[in-house]
Structure 1
Amino acid sequence: MPDIDVDFPWDERDSILEYVFKKYGKERTAMVSSQIFLEPRSAVREVGKVHGLSNEEIKSITKRIGWYASRRDLEHWVRTDQRFANVDLDETLIRVLRESEKIVGVFRYPSVHPGGVVIVPDKIRKYVPVLVAPKGVQIVEWEKDQVEDSGLLKIDLLGNRSLAVVRDTIRQVNLNYGEAASRSKYVDYHRIQPVGDEKTKTLMKAGKTMGVFYIESPATRQLLAKAGVVDFEHVVIYSSIIRPAANRFTNIMLARIHGKDWELIHPDLHFLAESYGIMVYEEQVSMAAMTMAGLGYTEAEALRKTMSRDSMQHLVLFWKKKFTEGALRQGYSSNIVKEVWDMIASFIGYSFCKPHSASYAMLSFTCAYLKAHFTAEFLAAVISNQGGFYSSYAYMSEARRFGVHILPPDVNRSHREWRGGKKKIRMGLMSIKRLQQKAVDSILDERKAGEFDSLNDFLSRVDLDLADAMTLTNAGCFKSLASELTHRELAYRVAGFYLQNGDREPLTASPVNYELTAEDQYRLELETFGYPLSVHPVARYRPMLSRRIKYARDIPKFIGQSIYLIGVYITRKETETRKSNPMEFLTLEDETDIYECVLFPEVFHKFGDMLHWETLFIIRGAVEESFGVYSVTIEKMGSLHQWVRRLNRVSRSLSPDK
């Protein structure tokens, strides 16, 4: 039986589930379980602990395995795969790998599915065994596929962060512009018409969709820019064809979008006409199986499910044989049968039906509309709701590329969350590392009585732990209250106040009054936020480097040439070639723009391990162009820190003073 999917803002989902259990009662209701099995990473981690390995020793293996790996031949894999070339394999590690192999696939524990709920007419225990999870939630002992196969109806009440982003963006837009401007600026979700909006189309055609639901990954951003066609029907296709095994078909589709002649593989497959003759949606798999192989609806659906479920991959060969024999028997040529099966095989792992993709595309358009028209409000909401494809720093950089000014946190101006408006984003107090929630609550609660007039006013009104007070100081939250004081003076006065016992008195002088150096400020920002605010990470190094180092904004000028670039890590995706050789897609940015890189197997073998420990890079690579979109095929890469350190050593050795 199919399930029902309903998405809610992620921070409202728990209240929805609470309502369901309250309305239907525990006798009739339970959540679906997620059955957790030991995978290679978790197996190595658990066995490594038993053998007394440190976290670093365990991570030397697990961080190179990746989340997707499901192999069991761990020792052979680690000994032969180039990704593990820099691992120091001693006898203990070898023993850990051998013993880990024995427990891969072993059931570990039942967990709670993110949103799956089963509701029955009478007593749920009549239909399925039930247990209580450690967090106190009642769950069935079957996982989602078993629930579906048993005939029970599963309702997925899912938490979606982008729905919260849309909600918060609209709320902030309407707060920013107020009633006086409501006629021209008031935004009503139900009246937004993003499809066909020119600013939205321009943004999507440029692939500037970081933060936009479901179309923000590097691969999808590049696909949007390469295609240049962003009507609703095409975006539905794009959101479905971005699958791990479908890269080859993506390139075929792009050529056809840009005018290359094409025909259907066979007239009987007329249902592929809407997607350029390429199989994109799950239902097209079922329709091809019924049309070509003569399978009934039930068998065709079983084939489709087999392709998309990891737990059923052992049945793929059975269905390939059944499909091939049936299609040949019905008179289709072996070439056509092979071509169609190759498309079916691209659905291995995961895929979507067209209605699912269409509903996602509608939310994508809404997010793109809000980003195009209300950039500051939108990106502030993306950062505040967290959980996007990129880090807070990456979204902050994206805001700056759109001309938005980032304002530091402030005890009078900041809220818990980030807030944007009128080309400015004010960082939220949530951005400050190690700041306790009780401190945030105290500040916001006290501010209801009025803003803080001065540093002394704040100190007298808000009782904080010393650690929180110093964290706020290091974040620059008191700057507006005492702009005449240097950071060291501020820190001395704040620490001196909160260190006092009994009746505290504000200090009026400080023995230190000199400013932080640029390097001190940079390090303080890294410690306080996890990323710098005052300067781009690579901008500090550019004056020390050769003028041959190009800017990312100039990449289009060097098509077909090898150039040097520097960049900070944004995201990466490890994958494999058709010959199962590992390679990597890497996204970097410098102070001028973001750019995409590729490490093919030979280069990945030499430099890929660096991506596990470095975030600032210097690269040499060839500029490639495809459908008007540029990327850099990396030839060499190195740590920017180490490169500059080497340059400094050379310059010192050549100094005439030596």
Structure 2
Amino acid sequence: MFYIESPGMRSLLTRLDVDTFEMLTAASSIIRPGVAESGMMQEFIARHKDPKRRRYLIPGMEKILGETYGVMIYQEDVIKVAHHIAGLTLEEADLLRRAMSGKLRSKSAMIRIEERFFESCDTRGLKKHVAKELWRQISSFAGYAFCKAHSASFALLSYQVAYLKVHYPAEFMAGVLSNGGGYYSAAVYIQEARRLGLKILLPCVNKSLYSYMGKGDQLRIGLQAIKNLKRNTAETVIEERKKNGDYTSLKDFLVRTRAGFEDTVHLIKCGAMDCFGMARPDLLRQLDIYVKYRRILDTLQESLFADEEIELENKVIDGLDYSTEERCRAEVNAFDYMVTRHPLQFYGGWINDPTVTTASEIPKMHGKNVKMVGWFMTAKRIRTKDGKAMKFLSLEDLTDTFEAVLFPETYAKYAEKTLSFGPYLVEGKVDALSGNNLIVNKLEVIGGELDMELLQGATYSESNYNGENEKIFEEETQITLNLDKEKLIRAYAG
């Protein structure tokens, strides 16, 4: 969902117990890097939960920052504090705000503004430590803070899409998938739709539109999801069906659409022609016979698809269809995700293990050591203030999603394993503050049950964090290829 679906934002909303538009607006601002890095995000959360912690640097601040518990979280807060508390004129206060936003490039001008701020504080009789703390808060976050109107506009849109997801889940998920998703891959949204209780339907030449369709408790995959299908073929299939009705057989489809061999193969393999009541291998063999006839007739300068005398429907039928694994492979090749099964369902021994905690259970497991199994959703690697690398893995099981946090020491041990889709077996302690974060102390990639060729064509992707995702991926891949454990430890231990 717009702006609030990232792991960090979902964790923040949980910690704040957001239930009002005003608090959603505040959350949209305090998640910004400046507020978080200044320490004000944690302070805001603490003051929101515990009124006894709501304190103000000086008398008078409650009047102007009472709504935010004495914490500056909006750009307007900078202006109010600079004007009402520090004593700057409104013009000077706005100049300070613009300077902190990076719009004032002159270093000498910045120095003059800082000097003017402290001079004005001194004139007002503010103690030096108070003035320094005010300046620290302003200078540490203002460049990345939203104005309140900006936060409110984000909050309004977030509320609207949340409403749609709750009350119209099928239509909402269809819209998300048709428009390229958001923070996550299409595979993640498909599994989220399944968790919402929706039945995922394969593409169908007689039912699908170009985009995904949602209605009631069903989500139909659109022809756009078949990654190797030409768009003009998909549009022809839809337009011909609208004009002359459903297709009755493979032959009827070919005669009416004149679809090419490769496009037809893609449609058959992914299940878009299951509506003809034949096994997919039989449809493929039937297609081969059509092609052979066409080649023969082409030598006679005739058109295969105009020849209504060719009857092949009762030839080549043996009724043997794809196995579950073959269906999943075809789905991954077509869509980059599975529909018939979630990948974790190939690991029944693990997901049914009573000692494994599910994602839906961890909100009740604060502070406890647990063992969990999860499939890769997305990942983000960052560096701590002292330059050491750590990683956040967003994982899912059949019940919900959770975050696996690998701090530097743990990440140094398991960095090469975090390139896999999984499934991961992770052990650690549930973070009491965040609610659904697992602080990992052990990580393994489970193997042996799922043929990883099923994932051919699927892509590993990290979230676009600071524009370095490609660099990070290449670095980790090279380290993994080298299989040099000592180099790995040195690279990730900092």
Specify the TM-score bucket, using the shorter chain as the normaliser.
Answer: 0.7 to 0.9
Q: Tell me: CA distance 1:345–1:531, structure 2 relative to 1, closer, same or farther (3 Å).
A: farther
Retained in 1: the 8 A contact 2:210–2:222? yes
Q: Report which structure shows greater RCO (CA 8 Å, sep ≥6).
A: 2
Task: State the partner residue of 1:231.
Answer: 20
Q: How far apart are the structure 2 equivalents of 1:510 and 1:310?
A: 72
Which residue, out of 57, 61, 66, partners 1:265? 57
- The reply on whether 1:275 has 2:68 as its aligned counterpart is yes
Match of 1:596, SS state, is: strand
Which residue, out of 436, 442, 446, partners 1:636? 442
Task: State the partner residue of 2:280.
Answer: 487
Which residue, out of 261, 276, 287, partners 2:80? 287
Q: How far apart are the structure 2 equivalents of 1:610 and 1:324?
A: 52
Task: State the partner residue of 1:522.
Answer: 328
Task: State the partner residue of 1:308.
Answer: 101
Task: State the partner residue of 1:550.
Answer: 357
Q: How far apart are the structure 2 equivalents of 1:465 and 1:576?
A: 51
- The reply on whether 1:478 has 2:273 as its aligned counterpart is yes
- Cα deviation for residue 583 of structure 1 reads 2.8
Deviation digits for residues 350-390 of structure 1, max 9, x if unmatched? Answer: 33111122222222222122222111111111111124122
Retained in 1: the 8 A contact 2:430–2:437? yes
- The reply on whether 1:540 has 2:385 as its aligned counterpart is no
- The reply on whether 1:426 has 2:215 as its aligned counterpart is no
- The reply on whether 1:592 has 2:399 as its aligned counterpart is yes
Q: Tell me: CA distance 1:343–1:492, structure 2 relative to 1, closer, same or farther (3 Å).
A: farther
Retained in 2: the 8 A contact 1:576–1:582? yes
Q: How far apart are the structure 2 equivalents of 1:531 and 1:452?
A: 27
Match of 2:144, SS state, is: coil
Task: State the partner residue of 1:103.
Answer: none
Which residue, out of 460, 464, 469, partners 2:259? 464
Which residue, out of 197, 209, 215, partners 2:4? 215
* 1:413 alignment partner AA: K
Q: How many residues align?
A: 431
Which residue, out of 35, 43, 63, partners 1:246? 35
Larger strand fraction of residues: 1
Task: State the partner residue of 1:184.
Answer: none
Retained in 1: the 8 A contact 2:375–2:395? yes
Task: State the partner residue of 2:188.
Answer: 394
Match of 1:550, SS state, is: coil
Match of 1:446, SS state, is: helix
Deviates more, 1:320-329 or 1:446-455: 320-329
Provide TM-score, normalisation by structure 2: 0.79
Match of 1:461, SS state, is: helix
- Cα deviation for residue 574 of structure 1 reads 3.1
- How large is the Cα RMSD of the aligned pairs? 2.8
Deviation digits for residues 321-371 of structure 1, max 9, x if unmatched? Answer: 654454345332233233323322442653311112222222222212222
Retained in 2: the 8 A contact 1:465–1:498? no
Q: How far apart are the structure 2 equivalents of 1:625 and 1:452?
A: 57
Q: How far apart are the structure 2 equivalents of 1:309 and 1:325?
A: 22
- Cα deviation for residue 440 of structure 1 reads 0.9
* 2:391 alignment partner AA: E
Residues 72-87 of structure 1: matches in 2 within 5 Å?
none
Q: How far apart are the structure 2 equivalents of 1:544 and 1:506?
A: 50
* 1:601 alignment partner AA: P
Retained in 2: the 8 A contact 1:409–1:477? yes
Retained in 1: the 8 A contact 2:346–2:449? no
Retained in 2: the 8 A contact 1:459–1:506? no
Q: Tell me: CA distance 1:644–1:488, structure 2 relative to 1, closer, same or farther (3 Å).
A: closer
Q: How far apart are the structure 2 equivalents of 1:519 and 1:417?
A: 26
Deviation digits for residues 298-343 of structure 1, max 9, x if unmatched? Answer: 4433332333349959789735565445434533223323332332
Q: Tell me: CA distance 1:385–1:349, structure 2 relative to 1, closer, same or farther (3 Å).
A: farther
Which residue, out of 149, 163, 169, partners 1:355? 149
